[in-house]
Amino acid sequence: MKFISIMADERSGSTFAGTYAQYYGKKVFYIGELDNGLIRMVQGRNGTCSCGAKYLDCPVWGQIMLDVQKGVDLKKIIMKIQEITGAEVIVDSSKDISYHQKFRDIFGNNHSTIHIKRNPKGVILSRMKSRKRRIKKGNHPKPHIANKYNSMMIYDCITWSYRNSWMENFKIKGNNLDLTYDLLDVELPSKLLKFYKENEIEVEKKKKDDHIIMGNKFTRMGDIESDINVSHSWVNDLQLFQKVIVDVSTLPVRLWYKYKFRKTA
């Protein structure tokens, strides 16, 4: 069995990429964000799977939730997912970077990564909008901190820089696929298919049952069949001073790793 970790900062298209990977892979199963799903399960919260069922009623997560409540053993959980789904390749997009290390410790040479980076201005705007939505709805756990949007912007830039440098150092050449959110419409599916070929993963372009435990629920299998729409709304929606702050504070990482986010064509 092969295990693929999708490594990405927040709001960088990881749920989309995982869904896409499952759509193009013959025996590929996409988990979603296992770290966040497990937090819910351990707390005994019966969340909703992307199939529409509550975890306990879902054919995949129902059995696993009962096991998890007795204790979390990542290796056992993955083996059980494999047993239930018959998958040969399992893809996860946990946001907690320590999970990527845990999966490498478990799967060794059978562990690969997909690193997706996104223009930090896009990440910052998307996180800002998401905080505003949650505060408005009244379901943000720390609204008094989250509503300091410009301070949070600096925090997001530091997180973006830290997480991307960590990922750069973690990935192994030849065992990693590099994607850029801002270029997904030109990079997919060609780069993914090449990666599948190199890793001997069978391709089958087909909509399959999805059971995403956690992630951006707006990305569903149905959407994969239409054109890929990447958002560049930061160009108009961020103010000039915000663009400058984001550019300056993420400059070291962008320069060091030679990141390019604009389409060249």
Structure tokens at 129: 């909008």
Which CB atom, from 10 or from 67, has the smaller least distance to Zn ion? 67
Which CB atom, from 74 or from 84, has the smaller least distance to Zn ion? 84
Least separation in angstroms between residue 51's CB and Zn ion is 3
Least separation in angstroms between residue 193's CB and Zn ion is 27
Least separation in angstroms between residue 58's CB and Zn ion is 3
> H helices of the chain, where?
14-24, 34-42, 61-68, 74-85, 98-107, 120-137, 143-146, 149-170, 184-187, 190-198, 221-224, 234-237, 240-256
Which CB atom, from 37 or from 122, has the smaller least distance to Zn ion? 37
Q: For residue 51, how many other CB atoms are within 10 A of its CB? A: 14
Least separation in angstroms between residue 145's CB and Zn ion is 34
Which CB atom, from 125 or from 212, has the smaller least distance to Zn ion? 212
With b meaning 16 or more CB within 10 Å and e meaning fewer, what string describes 99-130? bbebbbeebeeebbbbbbbbbbbbbbbbbbee
Identify whether the C-beta of residue 18 lies closer than 8 Å to the C-beta of residue 116.
no
* Site residues (vs Zn ion, CB under 5 A): 49, 51, 58, 211
Least separation in angstroms between residue 210's CB and Zn ion is 8
Q: Which strand ranges, in their side-by-side order, compose the sheet holding 176-180?
A: 28-32, 89-92, 2-8, 111-117, 176-180
Least separation in angstroms between residue 106's CB and Zn ion is 23
Which CB atom, from 117 or from 211, has the smaller least distance to Zn ion? 211
- 184: phi > 0 → left, psi -120 to 50 → alpha, else beta; which? alpha
